Amino acid sequence: MKIALIAHDKRKRNLLNFVTAYKPIFKEHTLIATGTTGKMINTEIGLEVKRLQSGPLGGDQQIGAKIAEDDLDLVIFFRDPLTAQPHEPDVTALLRLCDVFKIPVATNEASAEIIVRGLENGWLDWRTVKESAVLYDE
């Protein structure tokens, strides 16, 4: 599965700790991350990560585009809810796209752990099954 990893500045260390704890699971999947977060995951944890732009410079929008193109299966986005973000409209749009395209999204350690444990146990395998077109009588 393709997993996006994103973290606001004050939450990057939390995400690194989380990815380290679940490294055996993450190493089995394709990881995509915004700029600095991706670099930190690669250099500090040693996992291969496809790096996009920094969030405020378009990285959130690049991830949103991958969602819209059905090229992403899961988003883990450790948000900082107590600090105003200059790119908040991009963050809101990204979360909306996750809802529209039925992409599981975690915004903190608690929800991320549930989703990663589900990933480990095959509970997200439904993401690999493409929906067939349904024809309706009119």
Active-site residue among 9, 60, 70, 73? 60
Q: Which tokens go with 107?
A: 């915004």
Q: Which helix (H) or strand (E) holds 126?
A: none
Q: Is 90 a catalytic residue?
A: no
8-state DSSP, 83: S
Cα 100 to chain centroid distance, Å, stands at 15
Cβ-based neighbour number of residue 109 at 10 Å: 16
Residue 120: which residues within 8 A CB-CB, separation 6 or more?
25
Strand 2-7 to 105-106 pairing: unpaired
Cα 51 to chain centroid distance, Å, stands at 12
Catalytic positions, please?
60
